[in-house]
Amino acid sequence: MQISGAQMVIEAFIAEGVDTVFGYPGGAIMNVYDEIYKQDGFKHILNRHEQASVHAAEGYAKASGKVGVAMITSGPGFTNAVTGLADAYMDSVPLVVVSGQVPMSLIGTDGFQEIDAIGISRPCTKHNYLVTDAKDLPRILKEAFYIARSGRPGPVHVDIPKDVTAQIAEFNYDVALDLETYKPHTKGSPRQIKKAMEAIASAKRPLFYLGGGIINSKAAYEVREFVQKTGIPAVETLMARGVLSYDDELLVGMLGMHGSYAANMAMSETDLVIGLGARFDDRVTGKLSEFAKNAAVIHVDIDPASISKLVHADFPIVGDLKSVVTEMLEQVEKIDSDNYESWRETISNFAELHPLTFHEDTDRIKPQWVVKRVGELLGDSANISTDVGQHQMWAAQFYPFTRPNQWITSGGLGTMGFGFPAAIGVKAATSEKTSINFSGDGSILMNVQELMTAVEKKIPVINIILNNNFLGMVRQWQTLFYDKRHSETDLSVQPDFVKLSEAFGGIGYRVKTKEEFDAALKDAVEKNVVAFIEVIVERFENVMPMVPSGGSLFNMMLLEKKETK
């Protein structure tokens, strides 16, 4: 059929099964918004900032496992969205982001709202396109969705000049993709898998090192079975929270800079790292030369470039985790779980020596208590998003995660302002779950305008703001490493968060006691509208334990020992 470029965008989205688009209109993308007005194949959520549109699409993608879609205009619309693209790129989130561009005749003339968008998005997308002819648009959109979700997922940016959206051309979406230069591996080498299984069988102190790739490849339940059947202890990265359930006896905990003592010690003592979809990030490894020093390394990843990038892999396996782990499960009888009995005991001794905990020794509520309490009250019924900082680490440490896709956070890029719009996307994808965003008094202001989006579209995200009147994580580093010079981190001057939420039409609570918190959370869940629950927490609480930047995992700063209440 002969239709306009703008109509093609709509038709392609519908053909791809897109049900929600996050975006913000403007001059160069108006033809497409005109078609959005006329259609009812998907709903459009108007964020109040383009960065928020991309984060919302990320939240949607992470919670649903589908490709998230955002739409923005040229120039400042696009540059506002760049942080979201970079965030999605670092965390391998499948997105298709469509931007308007000035008409072809104006490209290169410094036209109004013109910027070299694909020049800017190149280093922070998996791939990008400038569409110069509407006849290419069906193919490009089809490729964009395929590239975004296949292999190691990531954001794909499609930049469409305004005249191309008006141009009429033939639309046929039902054509086979012909990407001669892009063929992601899916099956791991059977020989390498066999060798890896033999290495596991002969190891004395093997350790699963679980990463976010497991969630991307929808392999969490296969991994659970693998861990269960082998009896091998497991540590999780920040991005892998929820792969194992919090109450799985073999889950040692999160490792890394704010990982548990037991997890970091296990990694330091292991003789075989079984890395599944993790990328040996510096926040995980600490000092590389001391990381898992006496261990051989099995590394399963779909991205060959992740293997042996930082830590040499003795058993590299390139492939899709779900497929590789399924094949490993077929040979699982080689492994005798009894062999690791004393290793499991060693690890539980580590956990007993320095358990992951906190002291309730002040009048003010401890932030960790808030996270634990939400876990007790909502548990599996909530999806948890976060912003970036102390609250994020406390949420990762203390929330009782029970399933994959429950935990939505900005790991690689560490984007403050991610949480609220992401939680909106999460709620749009999983309306049956309560959508909680843990935030701080610093982060929440970085996309606070999303109150309007949530109110308008009736998306009842509950933002729990752990307010310590500080830019807490930076303050913690200043306290520990900058001789308490708290440079520009004191956030004592603040808005009234309750009134702020109410001004947009949301609800707000300011709580100082545990009883008030319970009542506020219960009320917010019942009222089912967007809420701010501001919790006044202990100002100087530090995230512990901690591996100082560049230090070795086994050299942790630990929580002082005290009688706990």
Residue 483: partners with Cβ closer than 8 Å, 6 or more residues away? none
Choose between 2 and 181: whose C-beta lies nearer to another protein.
181
Q: How far is the CB of 143 from another protein (least distance, A)?
A: 8
Question: Does residue 550 touch another protein according to CB under 8 A?
Answer: no
Among 6, 95, 130, 370, binds another protein (CB under 8 A): 130
Torsion of the alpha carbons at 516, 518, 520 and 525, rounded to the nearest 10: 180
With binding defined as CB under 8 A, does residue 76 bind another protein?
no
Please give the distance of CA 198 from its chain centroid, rounded to a whole number: 33
**Which residue number, 271 or 282, has a Cβ lying nearer to another protein?**
282
424 phi/psi in degrees, rounded to 5: -65, -45
Q: How many residues comprise the chain?
A: 565
Q: How far is the CB of 409 from another protein (least distance, A)?
A: 25
Contacting residue, 65, 103, 304, 400, with another protein by CB under 8 A: 304
Supply the minimum distance, in Å, between the C-beta of residue 304 and another protein: 5
- Gap between the Cα atoms of 265 and 556, Å rounded: 10
Q: Which is nearer to another protein, 163 or 301 (by Cβ)?
A: 301
Measured from the CB of residue 60, what is the shortest distance to another protein in angstroms?
24
Nearer to another protein, 89 or 504 (CB): 89
Tell me the per-residue interface mask from 473 to 502 with another protein, x by CB under 8 A, - otherwise.
Answer: ------------------------------
Pairing of strands 168-170, 2-4: antiparallel
To another protein, the closest distance from the beta carbon of 184 in angstroms equals 10
342-371: contacts with another protein (CB under 8 A): none
Interacting span for another protein (CB under 8 A) from 68-76, 260-268, 274-282, 307-315 = 307-315
Give the nearest distance from C-beta 127 to another protein in angstroms.
4
Q: Does 168 bind another protein (CB under 8 A)?
A: no
CA 294 from centroid of its chain's CA atoms: 31
> In this complex, which beta carbon is closest to another protein, that of residue 86 or of residue 98?
86
For position 147 contacting another protein by CB under 8 A, the verdict is yes
Q: Residue 108, interface with another protein (CB under 8 A)?
A: no
Q: How far apart are CA 277 and CA 132, in angstroms?
A: 37
Q: Does 123 interact with another protein (rule: CB under 8 A)?
A: yes
Among 44, 127, 283, 539, binds another protein (CB under 8 A): 127
Which of 44, 135 has the CB closer to another protein?
135
Least distance from another protein to the Cβ atom of residue 231, Å = 34
Residue 530 in the binding site for another protein (CB under 8 A): no
Q: Is 122 in the site for another protein (CB under 8 A)?
A: yes
Pure H helices in 254-320:
261-269, 282-285
Catalytically active residues, by annotation: 50, 112-113, 162, 473
How buried is residue 81: exposed, middle or buried, by Cβ count under 10 Å (0-12/13-18/19+)? buried
Token pair for residue 380? 């599996």
Q: What is the size of the binding site for another protein (CB under 8 A)?
A: 19
Taking CB under 8 A as the rule, does residue 303 contact another protein? yes
Rank residues 122 and 204 by Cβ distance to another protein and give the closer one.
122
The dihedral sign for the CA sequence 170, 43, 56, 116: positive
177 binds another protein (CB under 8 A): no
Taking the least distance from each CB to another protein, the nearer of 101 and 443 is 101
Among 49, 126, 162, 433, binds another protein (CB under 8 A): 126
Q: Which of 44, 283, 309, 403 binds another protein (CB under 8 A)?
A: 309
Q: How far is residue 512's CA from residue 175's CA, in Å, rounded to a whole number?
A: 60
Alpha-helical segments (H) within 150-219: 162-166, 190-202, 213-216
Q: Provide the CA 446 distance to its chain's centre, in angstroms.
A: 17
- DSSP H or E segment with residue 254: strand 251-254
User: Rounded to whole angstroms, what are the CA distances from 30 to 82, 112, 161, 162, 301?
Assistant: 20, 15, 11, 8, 41
As a whole number of angstroms, the distance between CA 467 and CA 402 comes to 27
Q: At 497, which helix (H) or strand (E)?
A: helix 497-504
Rounded CA-CA distance 292/264 in Å is 9
* Backbone Cα Rg of the chain: 24
- One residue of 168, 179, 503, 558 binding another protein per CB under 8 A: 179
Phi, psi of 289 (to 5 degrees): -70, -20
Rule CB under 8 A: say whether 119 interacts with another protein. yes
Question: Minimal distance in Å, beta carbon 153 to another protein?
Answer: 13
Residue of 228, 308, 337, 357 that binds another protein (CB under 8 A): 308
Beta carbon of residue 176, minimum distance to another protein (angstroms, whole number) = 17
Structure token digits, residue 172: 């046929």
In sequence order, what DSSP letters do the residues of 26-80 get, joined into one string? -GGGHHHHHHHHH--SSEEEE-SSHHHHHHHHHHHHHHHSS-EEEEE-STHHHHH
Locate tokens 């791809």: which residue?
16
Positions in 180-199 near another protein (CB under 8 A)? 180-182
- Structure-token pair, residue 445: 């202001």
| Contact footprint for another protein (CB under 8 A) | 118-119, 122-123, 126-127, 130, 132, 147, 179-182, 303-305, 308-310
